[in-house]
Amino acid sequence: MELTELESSLREQAIRTSLMAGKPKLYYFNGRGRMESVRWLLAAAGIEFVEEFLETREQYEKLLQDGALLFQQVPMVEIDGMKMVQTRAILGYIAAKHNLYGKNLKERALIDMYVEGTRDLMDLIRVHHKFSSEEQEKNLALINERATARYFPVYEKVLKDHGTEFLVGNQLTWADVQLIEAILMVEEKVSTILSKFPLLQDFKTRMCNIPTIKKFLQPGSQRKPPPDESYVVTANRVFNRK
């Protein structure tokens, strides 16, 4: 290899290293949506991140023109020289990179199952703000029923049978982080939702006192509030919805 080629190669490698050393950059609205679980996982891992909030159609179109959105969708996260899309892939990468994805294949399978369960419950809440008052009343009843009869009994039993502070193994994993996120989301709708689940009550207390999570729960953090009308208007403007 000629010296100039070597210099060029080293320069490119230095640029890639610099990008990898930078903070993850999150592209989404200034609201929860599907990006909120990414924020939670990064925060729990103690990873600082920056955000670019989508507020105009032009921002979104520029991302499309630049080829940054593989499937023309957000969330998108710039991390380690990649432009990652698809929430599940983003979360899996972060969990694996920061030792939050179990110690072996069996633990990873359990984490996946528990994460998918909480995601199903959280999806009921994510769409709640889109409904009419009458539809919200019905959806709230559904959230309460699914949480107390389908999902929370499972996690209560897992904690009892597993006999440790965590859902999987003997250390914090993605499953724990997403469960505490889900618990707090449901409590915003039904404040007494954990009244019949003492182990989940203890779990909540433990998780909220983990230093990185405790910091994320403080006012002024990058945690987002529940969606409001402004969030809906912004999303409609960006996606050119009527």
Q: Which two tokens stand for residue 68?
A: 């940054």
Domains 1-98+218-239 and 105-209 in one fold: no
Q: How many residues does the chain have?
A: 242
Give the tens place of pLDDT for each residue, 44-70. Answer: 999 999 999 999 999 999 999 999 999
Cβ contacts of residue 226 below 8 Å, gap of 6+?
Answer: 32, 129, 188
pLDDT band at 229 (very low <50, low <70, confident <90, very high): confident
User: Given this model, what pLDDT does residue 18 score?
Assistant: 44
CATH 1.10.3720.10 correct for 105-209: no
SS3 202: helix
Give the tens place of pLDDT for each residue, 119-177. Answer: 999 999 988 888 888 998 999 999 999 999 999 999 999 999 999 899 999 999 999 99
C-alpha distances (whole Å) from 189 to each of 9, 40, 163, 220, 240 are 55, 19, 29, 22, 30
pLDDT band at 5 (very low <50, low <70, confident <90, very high): low
Give the tens place of pLDDT for each residue, 69-98. Answer: 999 899 999 999 999 999 999 999 999 999
Average pLDDT value for residue range 222-237 = 90
Ranges of each domain in the chain: 1-98+218-239, 105-209
For all residues of the chain together, what is the average pLDDT? 91
Q: What are phi and psi of 179, to 5 degrees?
A: -70, -45
Neighbouring CB atoms inside 10 A of 77's CB total 26
The CATH fold of domain 1-98+218-239? Glutaredoxin (3.40.30)
